[in-house]
A = this chain, B = another copy of it.
Amino acid sequence: MDLHARIDTAMARAVALGQGGTPPARLAEALDYATAPGGARIRPTILTSVALACGDDRPALTDAAAAALELVHCASLVHDDLPCFDDAATRRGKPALHRAYGEPLAVLTGDSLIILAFEVLARAASEDAQRAAQLVLTLAQRSGMPGGICAGQGWESEPQVDLAAYHRSKTGALFIAATQMGAIAAGHEPEPWFELGDRIGEAFQVADDLRDAVMDAEALGKPVGQDAAHGRPSAVAELGVEGAVARLRDTLAGAIASIPSCPGEAQLAKMVRMQSERIMPAAVRHLA
């Protein structure tokens, strides 16, 4: 099974878990809406790639970790799109969930997906309870307060923003979770994998800023110019388009250089290089 199919299978199994028995039907349907089609599934792809590089000796634990991480990511998209935040009309080329199902079900879908993520990890404790608990801890730390994506979003309500903390928590946190959870699932220590996740996160933040600045809404599948419209900090505002492209290129090179020595090191470097090409917006590729 290739990586993409493996992750899709894990995600489908996780979402089905939240729809079992006789649930309220519209909320159950909204769980599908929020998680499919999956897009690039970048975070679980990185997670699974790191686990494979570390030997992947408990594949069921890796699959649970990959699904859990993606569920939290999907939850964050649903809540970020709410009227009180971005008030996004579209997401992944279709109406944002709160437009399709209403605001109450959008709040509940986000909540349910977060909780489902932890349920999926708890069920995988039959594989190895210590590793499962470490996965719950790492996912929680990178999702919540004081250093996860909730904190990142929370910085936007502050009069004074700590920019480094803002970027690391808003975008970086789930990439750090991806590399560290991949290592944990395969029985390796998470600490050496911090830098790879942190640098990939930084690269994605810069790429996201570039896409918001240079792409059009149809190609992106969501509104553009949001950073400028909301006066949000952005690498493009700080460095200009060319400077941001150079920063992106350097950051990805640093990410590859940071990969800890492990059995599948070369294969993992190749995956990061592939993701790098993928995230560079076509409109600025000639500058890279």
Q: Which residues of B are found within 8 Å of A283, using beta-carbon distances?
A: none
- Does A253 lie at the interface of the complex (its beta carbon under 8 Å from any beta carbon of B)? no
A148 to B111 CA separation, bound complex (whole angstroms): 11
- Contacts A107-B79, A115-B143, A144-B112: A22 and B165 contacting too (C-beta < 8 A)? yes
Residues on B with C-beta less than 8 A from A28 are 145-146
Contact A23/B145 with A150-B108, A150-B115, A154-B105 known, Cβ cut-off 8 Å: yes
Which residues on the B side are within 8 Å of A114 (C-beta)? 111, 114-115, 144
Query: Do most interface residues of chain A lie in helix, strand or loop, or is the interface mixed?
Result: helix
**CB within 8 Å of B: which of A11-50?**
18-28, 31
Given contact pairs A122-B133, A125-B130, A154-B24, A116 touches B104 in the complex (Cβ within 8 A): no
How many identical subunits does the complex contain? 2
Q: Is the CB of B107 within 8 A of A107?
A: yes
- Out of B22, B79, B101, B115, which one reaches A148, CB within 8 Å? B115
The answer to whether the Cβ of A245 comes within 8 Å of any Cβ in the partner chain is: no
> A123 contacts the other chain (Cβ, under 8 Å)?
yes
Known A19-B146, A165-B22; judge A82-B111 contact (CB<8 A): no
* A157 adjacent to chain B (CB < 8 Å): yes
In the assembled complex, A265 has its CB within 8 A of some CB on chain B: no
